[in-house]
Amino acid sequence: MEVTLLGTGDTTGTPTVGCDCAVCQRARNPDEPLVDQLDERGVTVGPRGVERTRFSIHVRNERTDETLLIDASPDFRTQFLREDLEPPDAALITHVHFDHLDGLGNVYRLCRELPVYASGAVDPEMGHSVAEHVRDRYDYLDPLDVQARQPFESFSICGFTVRLVPVDHPPLDTYGVVIEDPQTGGQLSITGDTRYRIPADSKDALADPDLLVADGILPADRCDSHPAGGADYDENGVPMTYGTKHMTIEGAKSLADELDATETRIVHLSHYLPAETAFDRPLGVDGERFSL
């Protein structure tokens, strides 16, 4: 399983339009190119940029060359050109927010057919499922074949075994994703957009990944900037959740420990980070590539 982080930023991305904070300045003018590295497990970490476009992950089956897109970023075109990728063979949508769904229109004239997987569970807030929402929203796009799947149901895409697991991103239903390669035993776990407090059976499904891609929007000490402050405090009084919708970076690291992740990248990052360490691991940057 080859995993490429296409988009590691929050809904505004980094650099953010109209912002000249130190992080956005570093993202516009990287002072040093970051290079390929191999970690101790032999996980290949591809060239690191210093940009964070909106969320998306690309998963390729090296044996069949089939590719699965996790979420359709509004930056789809930029990401596919940047990584020199062919259009995907399948897509999966975790939830209906702009930064995860609105790129789907990019497949117009690119894909002859595209199965799009999403939860078929009815969201009480929307009155319909994520799958129905995607189907209605893109009913003009003939190539799309929206396939509803139930939470925790195992299904096969591109030779991988995939499960959607409920997380907590109020008020809308949102899902994490577990992707396993039955040939290599490799496992990618993606928390999706979520606060720290997620259901125990979802944690069980996400546990023991080779790579965890975890939501973590900003450091805990920035919770003052949210009208709702922080939530899900640990024993030292550190908020694991920023506001109500996303984990803090501390929360993402704590969850990674709890899930016993071999490798972790924190994504969905805002530009409100300390500039000196804004692009340091385990914070993800666009273009990182892993072999599981």
Q: Give contact residues for Zn ion (rule: CB under 5 A).
A: 16, 19, 21, 24, 97, 99, 193, 271
The distance of closest approach from Cβ of residue 85 to Zn ion in the complex, given in angstroms and rounded to an integer, is 21
Q: Which is nearer to Zn ion, 97 or 289 (CB)?
A: 97
User: How far apart, in whole angstroms, are the C-alpha atoms of residue 240 and residue 18?
Assistant: 29
CB of 62 to Zn ion, least distance (A): 28
Closest distance of CB 173 from Zn ion, Å: 11
Nearest approach, Cβ of residue 11 and Zn ion (Å): 6
* Closest to Zn ion by CB, 265 or 271: 271
Residues with Cβ within 8 Å of 237's Cβ and at least 6 positions away in sequence, in order, are none
Q: 64 or 225: whose CB is closer to Zn ion? A: 225
Token duo for residue 178? 């577990």
Instruction: Give the distance from CA 190 to its chain's centroid.
Output: 6
Max Cα-Cα span within the chain: 53
Nearer to Zn ion, 133 or 271 (CB): 271
Asked whether 211 and 290 are in contact (CB, 8 A), the reply is yes
Give the shortest CB-26-to-Zn ion separation in angstroms: 9
Nearest distance in Å: CB 10, Zn ion: 6
Cβ distance to Zn ion smaller for residue 97 or 163 = 97
Contact 7, 49 (CB under 8 A): no
Cβ distance to Zn ion smaller for residue 120 or 243? 243
Residue at token pair 């109020």:
170
Q: How far apart are CA 207 and CA 92, in angstroms?
A: 20
Give the residue with the Cβ less far from Zn ion, 47 or 137: 137
Minimum CB distance to Zn ion, residue 175 (Å): 11
Considering the complex, what minimum distance in angstroms separates the CB of residue 179 from Zn ion?
19
- Between residues 49 and 186, which has the closer beta carbon with respect to Zn ion? 49
